Amino acid sequence: MAGAGQPSQTGDAKFDNWQSMWTNSNGKPGWQVDVVDTYLQKHVSRLTGDKESITILVSWCGKCLDMIWLAEQGHTVVGVEYTEYAVNQFFSDNSIPFSMIERDGFKVYAAKERKITIYCGDMFKFTSSISGCMFDAVWDHHALGACNPSQRQTHIGVLRSILKPQGKILLSHFEYDPTEHSGPPFSLWPALIQELFKEHFSVELVEHIDRSDGSTAKRFNLSWNKRPIHLLQSLN
């Protein structure tokens, strides 16, 4: 699952702990799921505007199957992931041939038979000049909630910089009592999302799902847990 346990270090982002979580779990860290996200499927038309083919960024993508599903819908998909182990597993697990080149500090994995490219490197350093394009949309699946609070505006700034005018973000994250778990993933409530994005985006709470009986609540022993889904549209 993209984003749910992403790097949360500060400064120049030393990701040793993030990489060890992937390798020590044999590629199955606690947030990784082997299904396409239900709420992406439910709300994808809001993200795409019902267009048949757009360019979508999946931030801190891990090896999520959402990328394959989006490509199967006809979209061009670009993921960004720090851990090369996860990127290699994505291609091997799904028997997808690829080529790889190095560019501007990233290893660029391009699927040979699908419209999927993954940039292996630091998301905080990702730019439109590196990708060679601006994006119509972003699927941010728990990535913002995995960032330390001090990194949130950096993450948002990257998303702003790679989005086309009026580009959209479908944002999924967790909300819970922060006294019960210190993060990551960090609790993000709708009023905080409004505050973080209001200067540059319109903010719509699309769905607010009670997941108190779900795996995240059980994993962190939470008394309650919700999953807010927001649709954001750039005002620029």
Confidence of residue 19 (pLDDT cuts 50, 70, 90): low
For position 165, which CATH number holds? 3.40.50.150
In a domain, 28, yes or no: no
Confidence of residue 14 (pLDDT cuts 50, 70, 90): very low
pLDDT at position 15 over 80: no
Please tell me the total count of domains within the chain: 1
| Phi, psi dihedrals of residue 124, rounded to the nearest 5° | -70, -15
Q: What's the pTM?
A: 0.89
Closest listed residue to residue 91, CA positions, set 63, 69, 70: 63
pLDDT at 207: 96
pLDDT at 24: 55
pLDDT at position 16 over 90: no
| 97 contacts: CB under 8 Å, gap ≥ 6 | 91, 111, 112, 113
Closest listed residue to residue 29, CA positions, set 89, 111, 80, 95: 89
Lowest mean pLDDT among 1-5, 85-89, 146-150: 1-5
Decide if 142 contacts 174 (C-beta within 8 A): yes
pLDDT at position 46 over 70: yes
**Strand pairing of 163-172 and 225-234?**
antiparallel
pLDDT at 25: 54
Domain range spanning residue 58? 16-22+35-234
Instruction: State the residue for tokens 């299904």.
Output: 35
In a domain, 8, yes or no: no
In a domain, 222, yes or no: yes
In a domain, 114, yes or no: yes
pLDDT at position 12 over 80: no
pLDDT at 17: 61
State percent of the chain over pLDDT 70.
Answer: 86
pLDDT at position 139 over 90: yes
pLDDT at 11: 36
Rounded to an integer, the average pLDDT of 86-105 is: 95
79-to-56, 63, 141, 159, 211 alpha-carbon distances in Å: 8, 9, 12, 13, 27
pLDDT at position 227 over 70: yes
pLDDT at 4: 41
Rounded to an integer, the average pLDDT of 174-186 is: 94
In a domain, 29, yes or no: no
pLDDT at position 31 over 70: no
Rounded to an integer, the average pLDDT of 177-192 is: 94
In a domain, 188, yes or no: yes
